[in-house]
Structure 1
């Protein structure tokens, strides 16, 4: 299936485990990971670096170690991309990929809440690097004080002051029966908008009210949802863009033409850092 859905939980990574794993990456990459103050943020950066390289290692026969994967960053928008070249024995190609992460708090949570890094990738036999995918990870609840104020920030006054949601989206959020569900609605819309803007390559800095998601009725509380209507500048773009989410936590937006049979029914796969990534692909 061309659409890959992968995630990694780094909440249990110990200081010694972090140091060992970091040593498997090129030294030039280390500062971009260790520059973070909190251990959880460093672990997320490490997990992102590993997931990106895992996708390339498993789909290009020429790249067999994490340290050999050629990754770059677009100077225009900061989006990472790979420079792998097809060669003899190529398995298939990574047309596009995108990563996201969620840190529930500044430190690893004591209550078992997960600290996730996710990657979505489009994999084809003849990669053209034309079709795009975006992914976002959001929490399922507002864990700090002031959930009502959190909703008000984005939806107060019809949402026009925040400049994030349209009037129709705000109406949908406020239609929920309680604050818990309204918070979930805010996070869901945020995830969809960020996944879309990342897929089109403009990032979250774009004018978010130009993008509107409709057809969300009945999505509250579902573990798996898909098929939101995507409207851009008042035009229905749903035939071009496919959206889905998993438990109001992981959201994907990608171009429909990239999908094949079985993609929509595909599941997210959780990877184990040692078993799936550093063990098979970490050799020097």
Structure 2
């Protein structure tokens, strides 16, 4: 199952496409994926949304081995992306993935059996607000223990980073379950030893079927990973999974797979992966133009 554990990240600040290059990269996606991207006004937001979708298709193609034209990625009512059930891969009994983007980074993580949640944060605050004013807006999402740890972390910068560490983990948990809701997050309480050996309690009950990791991705960006039992998925997301019940031994194997490091990729590499597949798809009419464009990458 280890080949199903992937962690990829892209630094979008290194990609400064011309309008033609951006349009070409966008054209590699299915038509229904393009409108949500072009709705964004700011180019940085468009880049994040585009790269997020390129990562999803690339990871499915490379890990599961599904030809690009056969990949169908949908979203639940809550917005959780999922691979439409199709070919069954025995060694990847419950392949699923999650993406996140903030600041300069866009990333994707995949798991072969467990639920996976991913979140990236860049510890910044809106201008015209102090750290205290900013984080007070979110105080209801933390347990009293977590809030005490945040407020006593040190100076203003220490407090901000501590806030984002907890927030990042809570987001990863929510995204893994596919809920898309932040209600009740004060009952999701994280414990750790210097931000290692991270565990969670829900309503005061320890949840050993979940594992978490928190690290720095680069340039001060924090990234968190959640790995949990498929039975914890929301009803709408559970319907998209191949299996939600596993015996203890099989689940223990999936839960304790190595959590691999993030592998940095660039947009050109993603384009090259998909370009090799796309230019021969019959629905693209000007194959000569596509082949020439692929050669540029």
- Superposition TM-score tier, normalisation by shorter sequence: 0.7 to 0.9
Which deviates the most, 131-140 or 145-154?
145-154
1:78 is the counterpart of 2:79: yes
1:84 to partner: Cα distance: 5.3
Alignment equivalent of 2:134, drawn from 150, 160, 182 = 150
> Residue 173 of structure 1 aligns with which residue?
150
Unaligned runs of at least 5 residues, structure 2: 230-251, 280-297
> Residue 182 of structure 1 aligns with which residue?
159
1:279 is the counterpart of 2:272: yes
SS of 1:215's equivalent in the other structure is: strand
SS of 1:173's equivalent in the other structure is: helix
SS of 2:63's equivalent in the other structure is: coil
1:40 to partner: Cα distance: 0.8
Q: Distance in 1 between matches of 2:27 and 2:93?
A: 27
8 Å CA contact retained: 1:138, 1:250? yes
Q: Distance in 1 between matches of 2:179 and 2:71?
A: 25
> Residue 247 of structure 2 aligns with which residue?
none
1:91 to partner: Cα distance: 8.2
> Residue 101 of structure 1 aligns with which residue?
101
Q: Distance in 2 between matches of 1:10 and 1:84?
A: 31
> Residue 4 of structure 1 aligns with which residue?
6
1:211 is the counterpart of 2:188: yes
Unaligned runs of at least 5 residues, structure 1: 105-114, 125-130, 220-225
8 Å CA contact retained: 2:8, 2:262? yes
> Residue 109 of structure 1 aligns with which residue?
none
Alignment equivalent of 1:116, drawn from 105, 108, 119 = 105
| Count of residues in correspondence between the two structures | 245
Equivalence map 1:31-70=2 (5 Å):
31-63=35-67, 65=68, 67-70=69-72
1:234 is the counterpart of 2:204: yes
> Residue 112 of structure 1 aligns with which residue?
none
- The superposition leaves residues 152-182 of structure 1 with CA deviations (integer Å, 9 ceiling, x where unpaired) of 333xxxx3xxx21111001111121201010
User: Would the alpha carbon gap of residues 186 and 71 (structure 1) be closer, same or farther in structure 2, given more than 3 Å must change?
Assistant: same
Cα root mean square deviation, aligned: 2.3
> Residue 30 of structure 1 aligns with which residue?
34
User: Would the alpha carbon gap of residues 38 and 93 (structure 1) be closer, same or farther in structure 2, given more than 3 Å must change?
Assistant: farther
8 Å CA contact retained: 1:99, 1:119? yes
Q: Distance in 2 between matches of 1:273 and 1:90?
A: 31
Alignment TM-score, normalising by the size of structure 2 = 0.75
8 Å CA contact retained: 1:210, 1:232? yes
Q: Distance in 2 between matches of 1:74 and 1:118?
A: 20
- The superposition leaves residues 14-45 of structure 1 with CA deviations (integer Å, 9 ceiling, x where unpaired) of 23321110111112221111011111111111
8 Å CA contact retained: 1:59, 1:94? no
Q: Distance in 2 between matches of 1:206 and 1:149?
A: 21
1:243 to partner: Cα distance: 0.4
User: Would the alpha carbon gap of residues 234 and 249 (structure 1) be closer, same or farther in structure 2, given more than 3 Å must change?
Assistant: same
1:98 to partner: Cα distance: 0.9
Q: Distance in 2 between matches of 1:165 and 1:91?
A: 38
Q: Distance in 1 between matches of 2:228 and 2:25?
A: 34
